């Protein structure tokens, strides 16, 4: 369990947040720049002192103003991956990686050097100096360095924000692997919806120093009352599915989830594999009558849960497919045409190619 | 060589090198501390401390020598103590010449180190903290290595400047051949003796060469080291 409840005034800006997140798992702190996300993780790392509050990871209290506890950053064992990597320029990659490892208590060295080098694919870089690395390589090394310090919690401050699209695509799979292979709680700061969709289990939306919403990812993403989230251009849904069956004669793969099935272009995964897929809110089409003779493969039966106002006159439609919450963004005009009201049954249309893995 | 330089002249050059070297070696740790205090900390009276560190740069060297004479003279408050407790005498000795030189070149070293400390990203120290490094650990593994080019070039410049320190030295420890007569003092002496022009010119040329070599070496080292530490 990760527990953060802090207050801090920073000039005109004031931070006042309370966050509880399960550990392990990835908790994303999502919000615009200047919303206070980075201040929150700095406080967790001990680099920023809150005026009051309490920060605890697992059973360890890192900060508690009432009990006058304020552990120094070097005593907290909280890994921190900075946006700008902050590798030590005078040390080789290998010595950067070993820096935290050598300072971790011997009895608690659960993550090994070779394991991390292998996980992050950085074996070929060990003898190099940081300045000879690309941006993506730097972030991988910075991640490895933080992991090897044997942290109880890993903080990541927009680790991909400074990278171009190609470098992002290079690093993201390593983050996903990290998520799957290490039972380490991660607090991940980002303003990129795609990273939230691919990495997060729990989502905390931060705005102007306050927590706007928090909870399990799919639940928060599908809330129709959060224009800053669902009204976002890139707003998306995350579905936890299982590969059901392959349909070789049709070139498709069927994914099952609580609330229906999805047909996708054939996937190379054995049946039974858990798969997390993303569907953009703007890619969902709603209908009240079953369309015929259409290229669309996925027609799901759901019902309208609630309606919300999006940006620029868009309507956010909260949906339930069985137990699975979903959000769709449509125009005001379409919502009126269909006469959408909470509780009414509706057909949810999803193009196979609009489902991202 | 012995034809070119007299034993007294050789002694003056040797003494200058020794005095300047000792001055740098002893002032370096204090200079690092002062530079670190100025670059990385805040404390009441910092502006005054800053001014005190730099005052030898703007004060007439004779005044610095005079102040040292008052403080460290045989009957001065500090000189008496040193004499009684440790049997150390600074007035009219080579050790005193080193002290005067160290005080004069102190601001030069502090400035060089301070600049390189300020140029080093404090974010790197934060990174080291999150990796479990305490204050001294950070100082020796991150801060000082990154400031090393500045420390070294500051030391070399101070050494080169120390070779030529005149006013403070002659005021504090006088001009005793073989004991306190450094290169610039020997040049001065030569100019005061009829027929000493040739000696003065010769020693001046040597002095010029040493100073130039020092500056050149400092620049070269700084450039090499910056490459080495990866910046």
Selected residue of A41, A48, A98, A99 to mutate for chain B interface (largest B Cβ count, 10 A): A99
3-state secondary structure (DSSP) of residue A334: helix
Q: What pLDDT score does A45 carry?
A: 95
| Chain B residues near residue A82 by CB distance under 8 angstroms | 123, 127
pLDDT of B76: 80
Residue A46 to chain B, least CA–CA distance (Å): 8
Indicate which of B126, B130, B152 best probes the interface with A, i.e. most A CBs within 10 Å of its own CB: B130
pLDDT at residue B1 in the model: 47
pLDDT bucket at B230, cuts 50 / 70 / 90: low
Q: What are the tens digits of pLDDT across the range A273-307?
A: 899 999 999 999 999 988 888 888 899 999 999 99
* B231 to chain A, closest Cα gap in Å: 7
Report d(CA A146, CA A152) in Å as an integer. 11
Could you tell me which CATH number the domain at A236-356 has? 2.40.50.100
Structure-token pair, residue B134:
């305490």
Kindly determine whether residue B126 and residue A86, on different chains, have CB atoms separated by under 8 Å.
yes
CB contact (8 A) between residue B131 and residue A99: yes
How confident is the model at residue A113, as a pLDDT? 92
Count A/B contacts: CB-CB distance under 8 Å.
69
Q: What is the pLDDT of residues B84-130, one digit of tens each?
A: 888 788 888 888 999 999 999 999 999 989 998 888 888 999 999 99
Cβ contact A148:A97 at 8 Å: yes
Confidence of residue B223 (pLDDT cuts 50, 70, 90): confident
Which band of pLDDT confidence, cut at 50, 70 and 90, is reported for residue B229?
Answer: low
In sequence order, what DSSP letters do the residues of A18-66 get, joined into one string?
EEEE-SSEEEEEE--TTSSHHHHHHHHHTSS--SEEEEEETTEEEEETT
Which residues of chain A are within 8 Å of residue B230 when distances are taken between CB atoms? Answer: 89-90, 129-131
Q: Is the pLDDT of residue A232 over 80?
A: no
Contact check, Cβ <8 Å, A99/B121: no
Question: Coil, strand, or helix at residue A310?
Answer: coil
The CATH code belonging to domain A2-217 is 3.40.50.300
By percentage, how much of chain B surpasses pLDDT 70?
A: 97
- Which chain B residues have a beta carbon less than 8 Å from that of A80? 126-127, 130
pLDDT of B31 reads 94
Segment A85-100 mean pLDDT: 94
Give the per-residue pLDDT at B48. Answer: 94
Of B116, B151, B137, which is closest to residue B40 (Cα–Cα)? Answer: B116
Which of A87-91, A222-226, B88-92 has the weakest average pLDDT? B88-92
* Average model confidence (pLDDT) across chain A: 90
- Mean pLDDT over B185-195 rounds to 89
Contact B75, B66 (CB under 8 A): no
Query: For residues A259 and A251, what is the distance between their CA atoms, to the nearest angstrom?
Result: 23
Q: Nearest CB to A149: which of B131, B137, B231? A: B131
The secondary structure of residue A269, as a DSSP letter, is: S
For A174-222, how does the pLDDT look when each residue is reduced to its tens digit (9 = 90+)?
888 877 777 789 999 998 888 899 889 999 999 999 999 999 999 999 8
Domain boundary assignment for chain B? 7-226
Nearest by CB to A74, from B123, B129, B231: name it.
B129
With CB atoms and an 8 Å threshold, state whether A88 touches B124.
yes
**Cβ of B126 and A149 within 8 Å?**
no
Quick one: pLDDT at residue B100?
Answer: 92
**Average pLDDT score, chain B:** 88
- Give pLDDT tens digits for A14-31: 999 999 988 778 999 998
User: Is the Cβ pair B146, A89 closer than 8 Å?
Assistant: yes
Residue A141 Cα, gap to closest chain B Cα (Å): 13
Burial category of A226 from C-beta neighbours within 10 Å (exposed 0-12, middle 13-18, buried 19 and up):
buried
Helices (H) and strands (E) in chain B — how many of each? Answer: 11, 0
* pLDDT, position A57: 92
- What is the pLDDT confidence band of residue B231, given thresholds at 50, 70 and 90? low
Say if strands A185-190 and A153-157 run parallel, antiparallel, or are unpaired: parallel
Residue A239: how many CB atoms within 10 A of its CB?
22
What pLDDT is recorded for position B46?
Answer: 92
Residue B124 distance to chain A (closest CA, Å): 6
| Fold of the domain spanning B7-226 | MetI-like fold (1.10.3720)
Q: Are A191 and A164 in contact (CB under 8 A)?
A: no
Q: CA–CA separation, A218 vs A221, rounded Å? A: 5
**What's residue B3's pLDDT?**
64
Domain ranges for chain A: 2-217, 236-356
pLDDT digits (tens, 9 = 90+) for B139-156: 899 998 988 888 888 898
Residue with tokens 């309507």: A315
Nearest to A103 among B121, B123, B131 (CB): B131
Q: Using a pLDDT cut of 90, give the percent of chain A over it.
A: 56
Q: What is the distance in angstroms between the Cα of B149 and the nearest Cα belonging to chain A?
A: 12
């Amino acid at each position: 369990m990760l527990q953060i409840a802090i207050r801090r005034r920073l000039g005109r800006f004031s931070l006042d947040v309370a966050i509880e997140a399960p550990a392990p798992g990835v908790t994303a702190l999502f919000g615009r720049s200047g919303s206070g996300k980075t201040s929150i993780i700095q406080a967790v790392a001990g680099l920023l002192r809150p005026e009051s509050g309490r920060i605890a990871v697992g059973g360890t209290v890192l900060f508690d103003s009432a009990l006058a506890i304020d552990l120094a950053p070097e005593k907290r064992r909280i890994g921190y991956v900075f946006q700008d990597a902050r590798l030590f320029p005078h040390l080789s990659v290998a010595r950067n990686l070993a820096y935290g490892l050598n300072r971790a208590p011997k009895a608690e060295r659960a993550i090994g050097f070779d394991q991390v080098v292998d996980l992050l694919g950085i074996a070929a870089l060990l003898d190099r100096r940081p300045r000879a690395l690309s941006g993506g390589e730097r972030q991988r090394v910075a991640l490895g360095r933080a992991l090897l310090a044997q942290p109880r919690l890993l903080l990541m401050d927009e680790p991909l924000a400074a990278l171009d699209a190609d470098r992002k695509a290079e690093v993201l799979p390593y983050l996903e692997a990290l998520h799957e292979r290490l039972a380490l709680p991660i607090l991940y700061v980002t303003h990129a919806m795609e990273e939230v969709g691919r990495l997060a289990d729990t989502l905390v939306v931060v705005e102007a120093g306050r927590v706007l919403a928090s909870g399990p990812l799919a639940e928060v993403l599908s809330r129709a009352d959060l224009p800053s989230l669902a009204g976002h251009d890139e707003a998306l849904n995350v579905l936890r599915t299982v590969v059901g069956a392959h349909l070789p004669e049709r070139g498709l793969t069927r994914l099952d989830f609580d609330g229906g099935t999805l047909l996708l272009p054939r996937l190379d995964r054995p049946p039974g594999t858990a798969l997390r897929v993303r569907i953009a809110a703007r890619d969902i089409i709603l209908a009240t009558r079953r369309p015929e003779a259409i290229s669309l493969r996925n027609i799901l039966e759901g019902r309208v849960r609630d309606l919300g106002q999006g940006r620029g006159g868009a309507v956010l439609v909260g949906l339930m497919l069985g137990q699975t919450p979903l959000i769709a963004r449509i125009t005001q005009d379409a919502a009126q045409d269909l006469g959408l009201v909470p509780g009414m049954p509706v057909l949810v249309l999803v193009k196979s190619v609009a489902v991202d893995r | 060589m012995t034809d070119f330089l007299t034993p007294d002249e050789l002694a003056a050059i040797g003494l200058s090198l020794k005095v300047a070297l000792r001055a740098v070696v002893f002032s370096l740790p204090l200079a690092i501390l002062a530079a670190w205090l100025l670059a990385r900390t805040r404390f009441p009276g910092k502006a005054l401390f800053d001014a005190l560190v730099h005052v030898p740069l703007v004060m007439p060297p004779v005044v610095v020598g005079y102040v040292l004479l008052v403080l460290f003279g045989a009957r001065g408050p500090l000189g008496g103590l040193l004499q009684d407790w440790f049997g150390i005498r600074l007035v009219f000795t080579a050790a005193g010449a080193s002290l005067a030189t160290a005080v004069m070149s102190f601001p030069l070293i502090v400035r060089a180190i301070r600049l390189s400390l300020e140029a080093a990203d404090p974010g790197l120290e934060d990174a080291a903290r999150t990796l479990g490094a305490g204050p001294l650990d950070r100082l020796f593994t991150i801060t000082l290595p990154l400031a090393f080019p500045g420390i070294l070039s500051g030391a070399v410049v101070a050494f080169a400047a120390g070779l030529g320190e005149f006013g403070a030295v002659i005021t504090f420890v006088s001009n005793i051949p073989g004991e306190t007569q450094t290169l610039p003092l020997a040049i001065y002496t030569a100019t005061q003796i009829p027929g000493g022009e040739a000696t003065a010119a010769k020693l001046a040329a040597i002095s010029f060469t040493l100073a130039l070599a020092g500056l050149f070496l400092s620049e070269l080292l700084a450039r090499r080291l910056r490459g080495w530490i990866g910046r």
